[in-house]
Structure 1
Amino acid sequence: MAKVSINIATGSIQKEEIIVGIDLGTTNSLVAFINPEGNPQVINDAGKGLLVPSVVHFNPDGSVVVGNEAKQFLISDPQNTIFSVKRLLGRSYHDIENYKDFFSYKVIDDNSESLVKIKVGDKFFTPIELSSLILKELKERAEHALKTPVNRAVITVPAYFNDSQRQATRDAGKLAGLDVLRIVNEPTAASLAYGIGLNPEEEKTIAVYDLGGGTFDVSILKIQNGIFEVLATNGNTFLGGDDFDRAIVNYWVEQNNLTDHASDASLQQALRLKAEEAKKALSTQNLYNDQVADIPCAITRQMFESLIAPKVEETILACKNALTDAGLSPADIDEVVMVGGSTRTPLVKHKVSEFFGKAVHDKINPDEVVALGAAIQADILAGNRKDILLLDVTPLSLGIETMGGLMDVIIPRNSKVPTKAGRQYTTSVDGQVNMKISVFQGERDLVKENRKLAEFDLKGIPAMPAGLPKVDINFLLNADGILTIQAIELRSGVKQEVEVKPTYGLTDQEVEKMLFDSITHAKDDVAHRMIIEARTEGEQMVYTAERFLEKNGAYLSVQEIADSQKFIQDLKEVLNSGDKDLIHKKIDELNEFTRPFAERVMDQAIAQAMKGKTI
């Protein structure tokens, strides 16, 4: 007798499993699915609303709230409330150095190229862990609303996300208990929602204008044979609807001479919320008139438009630059798609339409369009759209072994074939002249749980201090499924390559088992990975600090040397403790203690070098 699943919520016969589409946004996130009628639909769980604010709050007892409930703590408990975590995904501290004042929580500076961490109380979190909490909330809402388990998803990212940002998004999904089938560019998803690119015959060049709460980007895409190619992107990661709200608040502050109240956080928040209300109202009316605590808050649409005109002009300039980069003019663009809640502002629509010289696509709710497109992509991957040809994909991830026996994925599973991807690595020990490159296939975080495909040595790297050599490792997977791995040291041109066939000798059952194991062990794998990463970072810190004392002892006092050695010893003692937070705490303490005189030594060395020289 065959088993049939019935979805209790809809009463329809359940397909084997629902694959959802997720828009993981900077300001808000949402999740969509294909309903029984075959149409994409955003999931609204139990009246909580469609949008889940991308905000995570840590309560004093260690419990976590996400979304609407967390948003209220942005003012009352900012240091334990994390927002805009998407800006930190896959970023090193150097990447966000200039923006650290934007965040009200503590972003750890370990003064290196390693990825940022966020400190909350005594715990250290990576942006991956924090994003996974948002994804978990979306997964739970979807399961609650659909009354069915949700374990597989397509997640969208900005077109300009690099490899490590995409991998970080995948890892966040895995940690939330989701098998991430594909990472899709947000502009591609938005186009699919409008049905652009679904017909393999059509060839089009389109512009996707995406203005969200805190970020703006424009992408120029070429669609051919159902393949979306990003020709150019441009934008500003600190420009969005929040700026429109701020312009209104500043106007009211000026009108009512409220400059003395600038430090009143709750008044500022009340004004901000009222400004958001005014902005929305002015999309359909010419005057907004209300008050906050006896302060009159009135503004005309004309005034509002003159206040935001410079910001809108900035976005148009970005569109110009994107077209220039793509070597195109506005006349070459066939379609313009509007994405993001802030594109509801009439001035924005008008200016964009005027610039491109054509009507824009704005019929679909701009907050939902990306999630709906992700759901369509999920439906294509599930094989439910027979009219769309699915290109061959790679069944398992391909990557290399990095320090501590970890798997660093270079070509994620479900990537279209043929494909090419690469990443840059460096040495971890001074004077290292050889680098062993071990290639693995599989979904687990530890290489010992994956399948080894090849191993070779890149010899003849020039002897340099650790971190200076730059080794590019490129994976090329051709249409016949043959993988070429190429390693090249950029300074010397030393090169080595090897070919393998990843699918050789693997049955479908073995592939399935590898995928199943990766999901069942995801929690343990990630926890294990984080301990290994913390230990590796700690070992590097010890190595660097000891070398620093060796070389610069002459510039330091006896007390400074003794104290530094004590901090180094403390760190060494916890390296094998298996407690990642404790290791990070000791790294942070050593870092904080040694930074002032590391800077002093640097200044003295520069002064010495410049002696007698004029600039």
Structure 2
Amino acid sequence: MSIEVILGIDLGTTNSAVGVVESGFPILLADSAGSRLTPSAVWYGGEGEVEVGIRAKRRRGMGGVVTSVKRLMGTSQTVGGRSPEEVSAEILKELKEIASERLGVEVKKAVITVPAYFNEGQRGATHRAGELAGLEVVRLLSEPTAAALAYGLDKLGEDKRVVVYDLGGGTFDVSILEIRSGQFEVLATAGDTRLGGDDFDEAIVKAAGVRLDELDEGERGRVLEEAERVKFALSEDEEAVFRVPFLLGQGVEKVIRRKDFEASIESFLKKTEACCRRAMSDAGVRPEEIEAVVLAGGSTRVPAVKARVETIFGRSAVEGVDPDETVGLGAAIQAGIISGAVREVVLLDVTPLSLGIETVGGLMNVLIPRNTTIPCKAGEMFTNAVAGQTAMRIRILQGERELAKDNWELGMVEVPFEAAAKGQARVGVQFSLDASGLLEVLARDTATGKDTVLTIESSAVDVADARVEQMVSESVDHAFADMSARVFVEAKLKAEELLGALVPALAELGEALSADDLEKVREAETKVREQLGAEQQSGPLLKAAVEELDQATEELAALVVERAMMGQ
């Protein structure tokens, strides 16, 4: 029985690639000109014409060319009236056509790579772009994981802890993986979805004394193309000439030295280093415990990048695979695993940020913690907070902060139910993350068994990509304040519950308490009310006061239970 062909696609910021597994080996498919890399560029003509790849890139100096659209995925921004998904779909159509021509058959299924730090909205947008291109997207695969696959099968052996440092045209990812017995498990991941070779190009433009904001679209294209050429040259030579004739009426010519270029990108290299150290911390791994470092993405050819990687991890990167082709080859391998062309490899990816819902008091209740291996499912039971409540609104959140307001809302579902006393209505909530990182939320009214299902395909908040990486940093920066706020909210809820029950209980049974017990209850009650009304509210102090009140009312609570049993 023949094996169905599934494409592996690296949908990159600067270049894209398509590959398959043939006779057990992953290969990238070349276009009619013999190139295995297709520029991620789309040109739209005034008469509705569309050109993709190298043909579009050649028109860059003329205007109408869209590049680096990957940076806009998952946002509501448009490019010439077109969504990022629509532009990306044109690139995917081109790759699909290249594959069909080379293989002699039309291929309709694909694995598409995404940065590990893409959030739910960005992953959903990539999935939709594939569908718009006429592809069935069988899996979204994290780029660092794809790179590990490309090296891991024939380079790294078994029982290894590996770093994948992936610096492309517009995104950066670093992942710590463990490889054992044919199984790849991502221990931790970090990154910045708005950092890459495009930033290096703009640094060269600035060094040449050119301001991009003073140029029209055609001039901007010419300038960035020359900056890219100079960047490539500086990877081999100590200096290169930045030359753009007839720019702003006179042209620009400037010698760019490698040492000056490296100084201009130092801030970007520091950002990648911070991500690397955070990933190692999350994985509980020290640099000396790393047994191999894999580079992916064309920007890793820059000597300063290689040097920084060696400084961070104390070892040189593994050689042998073209960093521009690594992710595409890994995607082809994963496609081969799914189709059956490659066997005995298991791939376990992780979710980059925690997922949960908002609970009473505005707290974030995590159902799937950050760095949980996917696919996975997690659920919890929730009850109504107010008597007579007839519905429960469930806000789905993504992020690392303790308070719901500081995280991102991905969506919302409302579950109706029969009015019930406080705590009597029960709603089960289950999160299900598939292998592509897409989230399905199921909410069930346990009384009726009725399900409400929401599939998260795009973020409800238009958040800049850089905020994904910042979320983890902010959770560390605000850890103490966030935890103090959570402690206060939880203590406040408990205090309100105790005080609400205390007033009627004292009115009914207060005389049954001894004078000492009654005094202890009144003193503890006063402390709680003082903490609730304090100008500078303190979670620990309120929590201590609540615990004191809880202990002081033990005898009263016992009398309430006894009276209730006698009345039955």
Normalising by the smaller structure, the TM-score range is: 0.5 to 0.7
Pick aligned residue for 2:341 from 371, 378, 384: 384
Answering whether residue 229 of structure 2 is matched by residue 277 of structure 1, we say yes
- Report if the CA contact (8 A) 2:111-2:140 is conserved: yes
Q: Which residue pairs with 1:321 in the alignment?
A: 278
Q: Which residue pairs with 1:539 in the alignment?
A: none
Write out per-residue CA displacement over residues 329-364 of structure 1, whole angstroms, 9 at most, x where no aligned residue. 222322211111000011111110121011212421
Displacement of 1:246 in angstroms is 1.9
Write out per-residue CA displacement over residues 159-198 of structure 1, whole angstroms, 9 at most, x where no aligned residue. 2233443343333323322232222221111011002599
What CA distance in whole angstroms lies between the structure 2 residues aligned with 1:498 and 1:356? 53
Answering whether residue 191 of structure 2 is matched by residue 240 of structure 1, we say no
1:284 and 1:472, CA in 2 relative to 1: closer, same or farther beyond 3 A? same
Q: Which residue pairs with 1:86 in the alignment?
A: 70
In the TM superposition, what are the counterparts of 1:86-485 in structure 2 within 5 Å? 86-91=70-75, 93=76, 107=77, 118=78, 120=80, 125-196=82-153, 202-253=158-209, 262-263=214-215, 266-289=218-241, 291-293=243-245, 295-388=252-345, 419-420=376-377, 433-434=390-391, 459=417, 473-475=430-432
Answering whether residue 3 of structure 2 is matched by residue 19 of structure 1, we say no
Q: Which residue pairs with 1:35 in the alignment?
A: 22
- Sequence identity of aligned pairs in percent? 44
Displacement of 1:376 in angstroms is 1.1
1:461 and 1:365, CA in 2 relative to 1: closer, same or farther beyond 3 A? farther
1:247 and 1:329, CA in 2 relative to 1: closer, same or farther beyond 3 A? same
Displacement of 1:130 in angstroms is 3.2
What CA distance in whole angstroms lies between the structure 2 residues aligned with 1:55 and 1:75? 13
- Report if the CA contact (8 A) 2:287-2:314 is conserved: yes
Partner SS state of residue 194, structure 1:
helix
Write out per-residue CA displacement over residues 433-466 of structure 1, whole angstroms, 9 at most, x where no aligned residue. 45899xxxxxxxxxxxxxxxxxx9752699xxxx
- Report if the CA contact (8 A) 1:197-1:223 is conserved: no
- Report if the CA contact (8 A) 2:9-2:110 is conserved: yes
C-alpha RMSD over aligned residues: 4.2
Displacement of 1:264 in angstroms is 6.2
Write out per-residue CA displacement over residues 69-120 of structure 1, whole angstroms, 9 at most, x where no aligned residue. 3335555445xx54433334344x5xxxxxxxxxxxxx2xxxxxxxxxx374
Answering whether residue 25 of structure 2 is matched by residue 68 of structure 1, we say no
Q: Which amino acid aligns with 1:323?
A: M
Write out per-residue CA displacement over residues 187-246 of structure 1, whole angstroms, 9 at most, x where no aligned residue. 1110110025999x9333222111111222212223455443333322222221122222
- Structure whose CA Rg is larger: 2
- Report if the CA contact (8 A) 1:486-1:495 is conserved: no
> When the two structures are aligned, how many residues end up with a matched partner?
388
Pick aligned residue for 1:487 from 434, 437, 443: 443
Displacement of 1:377 in angstroms is 1.3
What CA distance in whole angstroms lies between the structure 1 residues aligned with 2:212 and 2:5? 55
Displacement of 1:280 in angstroms is 0.9
1:390 and 1:372, CA in 2 relative to 1: closer, same or farther beyond 3 A? closer
What CA distance in whole angstroms lies between the structure 1 residues aligned with 2:234 and 2:430? 53
1:380 and 1:309, CA in 2 relative to 1: closer, same or farther beyond 3 A? same
Q: Which residue pairs with 1:398 in the alignment?
A: none
- Report if the CA contact (8 A) 1:28-1:52 is conserved: yes
Write out per-residue CA displacement over residues 123-160 of structure 1, whole angstroms, 9 at most, x where no aligned residue. xx544333222211110011122322222221111222
| TM-score scaled by length of structure 2 | 0.59
